[in-house]
Amino acid sequence: MHVIRHLISIAYGLPFVIIGIGHFRNPEWFEPIVPDLLGAPRFWVLVSGFFEILLGVLVLFPRTRRLASIGFVGMLFALYWANINMWINDIEVGGTRLSQGGHVLRGFIQIILIATAAWIGGLIPIRRLRNR
C-alpha cells in the first residue's frame, strides 16, 4: 500500500507543481476567475500558484505528505470559491466558457481532488477489505 500511495502522491503532486508554475508564467490566464470581492487578482493568482508549487513538492515526500495533505484540503476548499465565481458569472477562461455540465463535472473533480489529498495524507484511511 505504501508504494501505491507514493506513486499516487507523485501523480497528484506534479500536476500541481506544473499548474502552479503556470500561475507565474501566464498569470493573465488565471486572473478572470478571481472573485472581484478579493480585488488584486494578480496577487491572488501568484499566492495560489506559490501554494500549488509548495504543496505539490511537499506531497512528494513521506515526511511532509501529511502536512501537504492538510494544506491541499484547505487550499482546494478555498479555491473552489473561484470555480463558483466562474460558474455564477459565466466567466470565460482561456477563450472557453464551460457548460452547466462542465461546471458540475468540475465540482465533482474538485471533490475527488480533496478526497485524494485527504487519503494521501492518511486523513481518511481506506483499508483493503479482508476475507473473514
Alpha helix ranges (H) inside the chain: 2-25, 27-30, 41-58, 65-88, 100-120
Number of domains in the chain: 1
Q: What is the pLDDT of residues 78-95, one digit of tens each?
A: 999 888 999 999 998 888
**Domain-embedded: residue 104:** yes
CA angle 68, 88, 97 (to 5 degrees): 85
Which range marks the domain in which residue 74 is found? 2-120
Q: What is the pLDDT of residues 2-28, one digit of tens each?
A: 899 999 999 999 999 999 999 999 999
**Domain-embedded: residue 8:** yes
Residue with C-alpha cell 462542465? 102
What CA–CA distance (Å, rounded) separates 108 from 129? 25
**Domain-embedded: residue 125:** no
Enter the pTM of the model: 0.87
